């Protein structure tokens, strides 16, 4: 019998009726004979609301207490899903991250998984139960409750699939799968049936929310087959695999596979030194991007983190830093885009009215930095001009 890990995101378990629908679908899978391990996120907006409650009390909450608070969100959804499965007549049991044996380092708020001691999950599977695991959380080696960073339930799911030797990790979400751009912004975005780990990594690193970047890193490193699919229809979604899938007619054509974007970014510029980087290492939140040049260290983070970073820098005697607010990024994902002068010329002329601040690249992407409020229209424009013709 194959073990399958299925993860349900916040919008998929956003209310009791959605949870009951999912339970009814899962009951069918269970009766087909699969061994099911389900990973859940907190119900939609729950984690944000928990953050807000804490910030009503203090602007600088203790990270340990934040983790105690935030992990409550996933406890609610895991038990509601378990109750719904029991109502369907399916034996099930829910576990916190700690009970599931997800062992992490000590970095409250952005802990990394060290290993998974999943013997309790295995015991319950052997008894014929469906096991439901609270995503986004674990327990540190000093037995403290930790969280894995925003969006981290994807990483919990892929890590469990890897340690349990699962046949597949299915990530259920509120869209059919991965598209050529965020389907909520680009009306004509195309569904991608298969994507390589490396292209998915480039998309995830550059801001596409559909998968947590660490989940893709995990999947790539340990060859975990992942499918992103809809929790509303359960129809086949996007398969993320090891192989490059190349079906281009023009064999050496440089092609954009997808466009991702990130809004509301804040850049801190400080004198580059190792001390500043170590300071950020203590900060324990995901940093969007770090750029080091001779004279300046640039740190790009989500704007909502501004009070926390200010507090950190001000309390560490870093007075001489500057900030640039309201930045955004549009990233074209595809091989070798920046080595094609004609292609670059086209990008520059298409965006001439937009005010691109910087163009940089990696072997798999070309990144435009611009004002945050120009991001959506630039994604739509570039998708139309470069991918719909």
Say if strands 258-270 and 297-302 run parallel, antiparallel, or are unpaired: antiparallel
Identity of the residue, 204 or 337, whose beta carbon is nearer to ligand ASP in the bound complex: 204
Point out which span in 4-12, 295-303, 307-315, 331-339 binds ligand ADP (CB under 6 A): 4-12
Point out which span in 6-14, 114-122, 331-339, 356-364 binds ligand ADP (CB under 6 A): 6-14
143 exposed, middle or buried (CB, 10 Å; 0-12, 13-18, 19+)? Answer: exposed
- Going by C-alpha positions, the residue among 192, 155, 187, 157 that lies closest to residue 177 is 192
Identity of the residue, 182 or 367, whose beta carbon is nearer to ligand ADP in the bound complex: 182
CA dihedral 329, 334, 338, 344 (to 10 degrees): -70
Each residue 197-216 as x (binds ligand ADP by CB under 6 A) or -, in order, gives -----------xxx------
135 binds Mg ion (CB under 5 A): no
Would you tell me how many other CB atoms lie within 10 Å of the CB of residue 269?
A: 17
Q: Cβ contacts of residue 353 below 8 Å, gap of 6+?
A: none
Q: Which of 97, 151, 152, 207 binds Mg ion (CB under 5 A)?
A: 151
- Count, in order, helices (H) and strands (E) of the chain: 12, 18
Q: Which of 42, 93, 309, 313 binds ligand ASP (CB under 6 A)?
A: 42
Each residue 102-141 as x (binds ligand ADP by CB under 6 A) or -, in order, gives ----------------------------------------
The secondary structure of 326-378, three-state, reads EEEEEEEECCCHHHCHHHHHHHHHHCCCCCCCEEEEECCEEEEEEEHHHHHHH
Q: Which of 71, 84, 257, 258 binds ligand ADP (CB under 6 A)?
A: 258
Binding site for ligand ADP (CB under 6 A): 9-12, 41, 151, 173-175, 178-179, 181-184, 208-210, 258, 260
User: Which residues are near Mg ion by CB under 5 A?
Assistant: 9, 151
Question: Which residues lie near ligand ASP (CB under 6 A)?
Answer: 10, 41-42, 47, 73, 135-136, 150-153
């Amino acid at each position: 019998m194959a073990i399958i890990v299925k993860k349900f995101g916040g919008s998929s378990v956003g209310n009791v009726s959605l949870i009951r629908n999912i339970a009814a679908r899962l009951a069918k899978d269970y009766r087909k004979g699969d061994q099911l391990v389900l990973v859940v996120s907190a119900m939609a907006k729950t984690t944000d609301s928990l953050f807000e409650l804490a910030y009503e009390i203090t602007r600088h909450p203790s990270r340990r207490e934040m983790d105690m608070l935030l992990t409550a969100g996933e406890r609610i959804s895991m038990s509601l899903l378990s109750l719904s499965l029991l109502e369907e007549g399916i034996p099930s049991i829910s576990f916190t991250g700690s009970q599931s044996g997800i062992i992490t380092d000590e970095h409250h708020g952005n802990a990394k998984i060290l290993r998974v001691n999943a013997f309790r999950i295995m015991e319950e599977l052997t008894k014929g139960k469906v096991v439901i695991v609270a995503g986004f959380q674990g327990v540190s080696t000093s037995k403290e409750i930790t969280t894995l960073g925003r969006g981290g339930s994807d990483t919990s799911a892929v890590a469990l699939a890897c340690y349990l030797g699962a046949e597949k990790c299915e990530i259920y979400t509120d869209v059919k799968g991965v598209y050529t751009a965020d389907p909520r912004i680009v009306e004509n975005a195309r569904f991608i049936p298969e994507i390589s780990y490396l292209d998915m990594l480039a998309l995830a690193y550059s801001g596409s929310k559909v998968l947590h970047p660490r989940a893709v890193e995990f999947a790539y490193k340990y060859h975990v087959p992942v499918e992103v699919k809809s929790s509303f229809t359960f129809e086949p979604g996007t398969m993320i695999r090891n192989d490059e899938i190349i079906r281009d007619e023009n064999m050496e054509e440089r092609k954009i596979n997808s466009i991702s974007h990130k809004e509301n970014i804040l850049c801190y510029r400080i004198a580059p030194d190792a001390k500043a980087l170590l300071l950020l290492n203590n900060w324990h939140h995901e940093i969007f991007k770090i750029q080091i040049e001779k004279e300046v260290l640039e740190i790009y983070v989500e704007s909502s983190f501004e009070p926390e970073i200010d507090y950190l820098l001000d309390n560490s005697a870093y007075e001489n830093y500057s900030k640039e607010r309201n930045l955004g990024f549009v990233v074209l994902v595809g091989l070798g885009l920046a080595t094609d002068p004609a292609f670059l010329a086209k990008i520059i002329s298409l965006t001439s009215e937009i005010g691109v601040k910087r163009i940089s690249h990696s072997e798999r992407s070309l990144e435009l930095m611009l004002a945050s409020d120009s991001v959506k229209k630039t994604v739509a424009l570039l998708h139309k001009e470069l991918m719909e013709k």
